[in-house]
């Protein structure tokens, strides 16, 4: 599998500020780490930094939703290229709040001259709050 985006947002590298919104089926969860896997080709397109945001608003999976709280901003764990189709390091961060929905936005790629951003997979790890 591969997520590929070459939309350009102003003067940024194509694909920067793109991403995805995830609403886990298990309900609200406390995400405390993430791991990116590279796509099958072109290392210059690897995401290098990202933001993870959370929301508990019902409309947060809708286009243009803005009710997110920043949880993490930093490396994707792909600082050292693990090769194509391989997982990078698991990135851990502090978070104690359970959110219904999460938004991942890529903020930079391996090369500023890349024509897109791409990755094979992103996994979020955490727990569900005790009932």
- The 10s digit of each residue's pLDDT in 104-120 is 999 999 999 999 999 99
Between strands 30-37 and 121-127, the pairing is antiparallel
Please state, rounded to an integer, the average pLDDT across all residues of the chain.
Answer: 94
- Tell me: pLDDT of 131 over 60: no
Q: pLDDT band at residue 130, thresholds of 50, 70 and 90?
A: confident
The C-alpha angle with vertex 17 and arms to 104 and 46, in degrees rounded to 5, equals 75
Q: pLDDT over 90 for what percent of the chain?
A: 84
Q: What is the pLDDT of residue 55?
A: 97
Q: What's the pLDDT tens digit per position in 10-60?
A: 888 999 999 999 999 999 999 999 999 999 999 999 999 999 999 999 889
Q: Compute and round to an integer the Cα radius of gyration of the chain.
A: 15
């Amino acid at each position: 599998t591969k997520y590929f985006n070459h939309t350009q947002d102003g003067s940024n590298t194509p694909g920067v500020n793109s991403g995805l919104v995830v609403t886990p089926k298990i309900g609200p969860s406390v995400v405390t780490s993430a791991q990116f896997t590279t796509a099958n080709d072109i290392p210059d397109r690897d995401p290098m930094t990202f933001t993870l945001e959370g929301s508990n608003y019902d409309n947060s999976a809708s286009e243009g939703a803005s009710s997110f709280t920043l949880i993490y901003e930093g490396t994707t764990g792909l600082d050292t290229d693990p090769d194509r189709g391989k997982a990078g390091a698991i990135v851990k961060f502090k978070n104690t709040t359970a959110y219904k929905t999460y938004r991942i936005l890529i903020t930079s790629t391996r090369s500023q001259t890349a024509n897109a951003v791409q990755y094979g997979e992103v996994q979020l790890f955490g727990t569900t709050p005790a009932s």
